[in-house]
Structure 1
Amino acid sequence: MSIDWLELEKTARAWTYEAAGLIKDSLSNPIHIEAKSNPDDLVTEVDRAIESFFYHKIQETFPEHHFLGEEGVAEELDSLNGTVWIIDPIDGTMNFVHQKYNFSISVAVYHDGKGMIGLVYDVMNDELFHAIRGRGAYLNSDELVPVKERPLHESIIGLNAKWLVQEKNPYRNPLRALVRDVRSIRSYGSAALEIAYVAADRLDGYISVNLSPWDYAAGIVLLEEVGCKASTFRGEHLDYLKKSTVIVGKPRLHKEMVSSYVGEEL
């Protein structure tokens, strides 16, 4: 049975807007916060509620589809066979807790391992970055054009500066070399948004030492539609079933970052 990707994207988009409304409603109430793997790895009851919202919508509407999410409402997957929804209900939970701003909903649909639909929604700014494989990428109703290349010394990179000072971070020195040579770095606190910003030409590249698939799955679909590249620090394909280093950027910049800066010391 063939899948109508246009209709599926419309459904995913409608659910994303509905979920955003639930998140906004929650901001008027006290938020219960917990730490997961460390004191900076936060989760709230809103994260869990939004993931459950998507999970039950998918189960009711597409019972043959599979689900991969951050907060564990579904069983872990061991493959991407079939149609898989990969969802981060609130990407940038720390921003959600502290700022009530700069967080996103990330929704991806993959089919037999290929990214078919990618949605990254900036809830508070009402900006929806969205793409269907082979049909281009958009910011709301405006099509994103193929990105403009810039040399390294004119590039702005998304990067968490904390990694530059962590003594036990094995990537610290190559990242310092990269930061030395780029025009500037930025940190917005939402990986999905920062990857979407590369697709929208707001950033030239983005680097993360440790991301989960739901952080980058939707953004990769956007990137591919505008000609950008994504890989591990070693230049390998990203694995959508486990955590990974991630480096994304415009093609020439991505190649330069992988080969000349990050890859050389790994």
Structure 2
Amino acid sequence: MREARTKILVSFNEQLDITTKTGPNDLVTNIDREVEAFYRDKIKKYYPASGIVGEESVNENTKPAVDGLLWIIDPIDGTMNFVKQRDHFASMIAVYQKDKGLRGYIYDIMQDKLYWGGADIGVYCNNEKMAPPRNKGLEGGLFGVGAPLLIKNYHNLQNVAMRSCGTRIYGCSGLQFIHVLNGQCVAYSSYLRPWDYAAGKVLAETLGLVVKTIDGKPIDMLSSSDVLVATKNAQKDITRIVQSIY
């Protein structure tokens, strides 16, 4: 991932090849594709029996084979920020085996901070082991949220936002997960695809955080879904507010 970071930083001096996917605000660049190809090549070299799911090469996605390992890749999470700001984006890799998260890696590229770990070793920021964040309730912290869900008041999230100390919208799920991991926010919710939350789920659950759908249901790791990561107390508060609309 540090090699990939070098490739990304060098690209700042080059002309990007930018195209759209599902719409004008869903961008992909040649760097997204190159970094994902780089990760795929490394995985195939050292773990040839593994399955790989990546955002930018869906046609090449494969299911786990002999070793049962599944690698889930988001080469650049927050591509719009990467293109427009040259900041506030991440690179993510997760490793699962039979639906169990083994390792998660979220790399804050511009801050050069790699958050990584798993249940058997804990969570680290670079080489420093992280302590679990304080178990604050919703009213005791900030609420990270995806803009579309907040604007549409999906599952009463506007009320959730009003009950928090304030909202934060960064346009990068990896960074939003980091902010919950380190206690800067008590919760984050958005509609996410597997590569947006696979790594964060491993790290969050290792630190005792809750990762479920907004209404408290388990997440299917290979499905797109609304996702909530939160402290246990904030998750209880949010569930009560969400359920109050039914």
Alpha-carbon offset, residue 231 of structure 1: 0.3
* Corresponding letter in the other structure for 1:19: A
Q: Which runs of 5+ in 1 are unaligned?
A: 1-15
Counterpart pick for 1:92 among 57, 78, 81: 78
- In structure 2, the partner of 1:234 is 215
Q: Does structure 2 conserve the Cα–Cα contact (< 8 Å) formed by 1:95 and 1:102?
A: yes
Task: Please state if 1:261 is matched with 2:246.
Answer: no
* Counterpart contact for 1:156–1:203, Cα < 8 Å: yes
Query: Which secondary structure does the structure 1 equivalent of 2:219 belong to?
Result: coil
- TM-score in terms of structure 1 length: 0.87
Q: Does residue 75 of the first structure (1) align with residue 60 of the second (2)? A: yes
SS at match of 1:138: strand
Question: Are 1:19 and 2:4 an aligned pair?
Answer: yes
- Residue type at the aligned position of 1:152: L
Matched residue, 2:170: 188
Query: For the residues of structure 2 that align with 1:79 and 1:156, how far apart are their CA atoms?
Result: 38
8 A contact 2:137–2:237 mirrored in 1: no
* Alignment pair present for 1:119 and 2:108: no
Q: Mark the CA change 1:82 to 1:264 in structure 2 (over 3 Å): closer, same or farther.
A: farther
Q: Deviations over 1:111-149 (max 9, x none)?
A: 111000111001111011111222111111221112202
Answering whether residue 118 of structure 2 is matched by residue 132 of structure 1, we say yes
Q: 1:263 to 1:32 in 2, by over 3 A?
A: farther
Q: How does 1:167-178 map to 2 (within 5 A)?
A: 171=154, 174-178=156-160
8 Å CA contact 1:52, 1:73 repeated in 2: no
Equivalent residue, structure 2, for 1:4: none
Q: Give, in whole Å, the separation in 2 of the partners of 1:262 and 1:62.
A: 42
For 1:141 and 1:186, locate their aligned partners in 2 and report how far apart those are by CA, in whole Å.
Answer: 28
Deviations 1:133-189 (A, max 9, x none): 2211111122111220223222101113443334xx6x16x0111111110111122
Is the 8 Å Cα contact of residues 52 and 63 (structure 2) preserved in structure 1?
A: no
- CA distance in 1 between counterparts of 2:45 and 2:146 reads 39
Q: CA deviation at 1:94?
A: 0.5
Aligned AA for 2:88? N
Structure 2: which 5+ runs fail to align? none
Q: Cα–Cα, structure 1 residues 265 and 37, in superposed 2: closer, same or farther, change >3 Å?
A: farther
Checking the alignment, whether the CA contact within 8 Å between 1:198 and 1:205 is kept in structure 2 is yes
Query: Could you say which residue in structure 1 is the equivalent of 2:27?
Result: 42
The aligned amino acid for 1:150 is K
Distance 2:209 2:224 in 1: 21
Tell whether the 8 Å contact from 1:233 to 1:263 is kept in structure 2 after alignment: no
Residue identity in the other structure for 1:235: G
Matches within 5 A, 1:218-233: 218-233=199-214
Matched, 1:54 2:42: no
TM-score (norm 2): 0.93
Structure 1 residue 202 corresponds to structure 2 residue 184 = yes
Q: Amino acid of the residue matched to residue 213 of structure 1?
A: P
Query: Matched residues in 2 for 1:124 and 1:64: separation?
Result: 33
Does the Cα contact within 8 Å between 2:63 and 2:70 map onto a contact in 1?
Answer: no
2:54 alignment partner AA: G
Conserved 8 A contact 2:77-2:196: yes
Residue pair 1:196, 1:222 contacting (<8 A) in 2 also = no
CA RMSD, Structure 1 to Structure 2 (Å): 1.8
- Out of 27-36 and 144-153, give the one that drifted further: 144-153
Partner residue of 1:164? 150
Distance 2:189 2:14 in 1: 34
